Amino acid sequence: MSAPAVTPVITIDGPGGSGKGTVSRRVAAALGFHLLDSGAIYRVAALACVRQGVALDDVAAAAEVASTMQVSFEVLGDRTGVALGGVDVSDEVPLESTGSLASQVAKHGEVRDAVLGLQRRFRRAPGLVADGRDMGTVVFADALCKVYLTASVEERARRRYQQLTDQGLRVTLDDLTSSIRARDARDMGREIAPLRPADDALSIDSTSLPIESVCEQVLAYYAKRVAQYPQ
Ligand code: DC
């Protein structure tokens, strides 16, 4: 009897503003794959803690909130609709302030364990593109195709600035740069599942690359991995 087919996963990890969200969305659309924005899960967990008056460093209570929150995602073209307990939180999720809260709650191993099952349930046929910090190192360590996407801090802050001001939000480049630096330090320096490239990841520096070219490189790398390891 042959082994059951494994649903392929493409992991795209990297720091905030590296372009992984846009690249993941486009690669998933090109292949007809499902999409997991794991950062949004941590963002919603942080919002749920704030709503319930749970301090982000109250590890047991935050993990309880993360494991019981009722969250749903809907891919809507260029953005993701997110509901928490049936309430639309799509506007709060992308804020840099929410990203900063998410980074604080995400450093706790108990919180990460609480959302592990939720993340893994996104793996469904015909395939999944998963974007985050530890997709290739922890959550889908067996993924067929792993990518680590990065860019200079200045370029990432500039992209975030563009993205948020396009949405009509008032932010300054200086504030974004310091928040991104602080998040990088926290996400890379934490003990559990720190942000780092998986040993078998293809690293792409997107500082001066157009998004189309990054997507092409990811799709070409995926095709190469499929040819190397037919499922
Ligand atoms: O990708 P993002 O900016 O939406 O992520 C927000 C924060 O959530 C990020 O600063 C750290 C945390 N995060 C994480 O710890 N692990 C992931 N897989 C995704 C996000």
Measure the CA–CA gap between 107 and 56, rounded to whole angstroms. Answer: 10
Q: Please say whether the beta carbons of 219 and 227 come within 8 A.
A: no
CA-16 nearest atom, ligand 1: 3
- Give the Cα-Cα-Cα angle 112, 103, 187 (nearest 5 degrees): 85
Within a domain: 230: no
Ligand 1, pocket-test mutation among 11, 42, 90, most atoms within 8 A of CB: 42
Within a domain: 1: no
Instruction: Report the predicted TM-score, pTM, of the whole model to 2 decimal places.
Output: 0.94
pLDDT in tens, 195-205: 999 999 999 99
Among protein residues, the one with the nearest Cα to ligand 1's atom 2 is 39
Owning domain of residue 193: 9-224
- Count of domains forming the chain: 1
The pLDDT assigned to 2 comes to 52
The pLDDT assigned to 77 comes to 72
Measure the CA–CA gap between 84 and 89, rounded to whole angstroms. Answer: 6
Measure the CA–CA gap between 209 and 59, rounded to whole angstroms. Answer: 40
Q: Are strands 71-76 and 79-84 parallel, antiparallel or unpaired?
A: antiparallel
In the chain, which residues have pLDDT < 50? none
Within a domain: 201: yes
Within a domain: 142: yes
Ligand 1, pocket-test mutation among 35, 38, 47, 159, most atoms within 8 A of CB: 38
The pLDDT assigned to 168 comes to 87
Within a domain: 62: yes
Measure the CA–CA gap between 185 and 179, rounded to whole angstroms. Answer: 10
In the reported structure, the alpha carbon of residue 205 is separated from the centroid of ligand 1 by a whole-number distance in angstroms of 19
Within a domain: 105: yes
The pLDDT assigned to 4 comes to 55
Give the DSSP H/E element, type plus range, for residue 148: strand 145-150
Burial of 121 (0-12, 13-18, 19+ CB in 10 A): exposed
The SS3 assignment for 95 reads coil
Among protein residues, the one with the nearest Cα to ligand 1's atom 15 is 106
187 Cβ below 6 A of ligand 1: yes
Q: Please say whether the beta carbons of 193 and 112 come within 8 A.
A: yes
Within a domain: 4: no
Within a domain: 210: yes
> In this structure, what CATH number is given to the domain that contains residue 158?
3.40.50.300
